[in-house]
Amino acid sequence: MNLRDLRYLTAVAEHKHFGRAAEACFVSQPTLSTQLKKLEETLGVTLIERTNRQVMLSPAGEQIVAQAERVLREVNTLTAMAEQFRDPMGGDFRLGIIPTVAPYLLPKILGPLKKAFPNLRLQLHEGQTAQITRMLKQGDLDAVLLALPLQEENVCEEPLFDEPFLFAAAKSHPKAKQKSVTLDDLEDEVVLLLEDGHCLRDQALDVCNTHKAVESANFRGTSLETVRQMVAAGAGITLMPQLASQQRGGSVKYLPFRGPFRGKAPHRTVGLCWRNTSTRKALLEEMAKVLKSAADEELEVA
């Protein structure tokens, strides 16, 4: 038995699919299956129930996966502790980031992070909130960059910036000639949103439901870029985060919301989160300052 096999096992438990688990572990499916068979032979129990349609953990498998996750968390903590003693501001650092932030913020922050932490080896993982939060709690990520609040037990949240939502419509849309819109302008508009699992969907849906907009029954996007193209084609409007709207041009018009508002204008808060037991608290706090400064500068330019 080795740590690699425990990682294969927890990947199968997460993905419920040998192919996807193998892909996540960067190995071939036959290799992963063979190693898990050897693990079962070593332990003398069946860990995985295999059928033609699905992969399920056996009762023993569920308990052993839970223990394997604890073991891997402790190993990750040990490795991070050693890294901290060698170089508190360097070493490997695994950062998770949600897809609606990654392509727009990463190009703006990688330079400042490299300058501030020249010895830091940044490893990036893009995934939806539920996935990267689970990886954070399991110790597979050191921090995550996502929309707040997360409200997970034993997780620290550091707000970085508030990102306004803009009204995005095709340039042929009647409201595209305006310089700004009000929340009342959302009434009866067909709104294009992301599929379930994206926190941005829930945030935009809250705004739309409050102001009598109608979600499109025929479309749910897998990415903001897909949503943008559908908006350009005149299929509806959307609420676009400001950083994503900087890819201007084409057939989409972006309009700010003007008040008065009951509270704040439509926006999301993006923050950095880490386990409150992390041994790299000093690095994380300094990283948050660098990220906040870089993001603030970018939003001011926009």
Asked if 194 and 228 sit in the same domain, the reply is yes
Position 134 in a domain: yes
Q: In the 8-state DSSP scheme, what is residue 176?
A: G
Asked if 257 and 284 sit in the same domain, the reply is no
Asked if 221 and 188 sit in the same domain, the reply is yes
pLDDT in tens, 147-172: 999 989 899 999 999 999 999 999 99
Asked if 115 and 147 sit in the same domain, the reply is yes
Residue that the structure tokens 């425990």 belong to: 6
Position 80 in a domain: no
Q: What angle do CA 150, 155, 160 make, to 5 degrees?
A: 60
Asked if 19 and 105 sit in the same domain, the reply is no
Asked if 156 and 167 sit in the same domain, the reply is no
Asked if 293 and 210 sit in the same domain, the reply is no
In the chain, the N- to C-terminal Cα span, in Å, equals 53
Asked if 29 and 148 sit in the same domain, the reply is no
Predicted model pTM: 0.74
Position 49 in a domain: yes
Evaluate if residue 289 carries a pLDDT over 90.
yes
Number of domains into which the chain is organized = 3
Q: What number of other Cβ atoms are within 10 A of residue 136's Cβ? A: 24
Share of the chain above pLDDT 90, in %: 62
H or E element: which one contains 282?
A: helix 281-301
Q: What angle do CA 98, 246, 150 make, to 5 degrees?
A: 25
Position 82 in a domain: no
Task: Show the tokens assigned to 281.
Answer: 């608290």
Give CA–CA dist 20/37, Å, rounded.
17
Asked if 102 and 181 sit in the same domain, the reply is no
Q: Which residues of 33-57 are buried (b: 16+ CB within 10 A; e: fewer)?
A: bebbeebbeeeeeebbeeeeeebeb
Give CA–CA dist 215/207, Å, rounded.
11
Q: How far is CA 286 from CA 66, 117, 175, in A?
A: 33, 9, 43
Asked if 99 and 129 sit in the same domain, the reply is yes
Give CA–CA dist 65/36, Å, rounded.
12
CATH of the domain at 150: 3.40.190.10
Residue 97 · residue 272 · CB < 8 Å: no
Position 108 in a domain: yes
CATH of the domain at 29: 1.10.10.10
Position 172 in a domain: yes
pLDDT in tens, 236-262: 999 999 999 876 567 899 999 998 888
Position 287 in a domain: yes
Phi, psi of 84 (to 5 degrees): -65, -40
Number of residues in the chain: 302
Asked if 96 and 189 sit in the same domain, the reply is no
Mean pLDDT value across the chain: 90
Residue 212 · residue 186 · CB < 8 Å: yes
Asked if 169 and 238 sit in the same domain, the reply is yes
Position 79 in a domain: no
Task: Show the tokens assigned to 95.
Answer: 């950062």
204 is in which domain, residue-wise?
162-267
Give CA–CA dist 80/151, Å, rounded.
24
pLDDT in tens, 193-211: 999 888 899 999 889 888 8
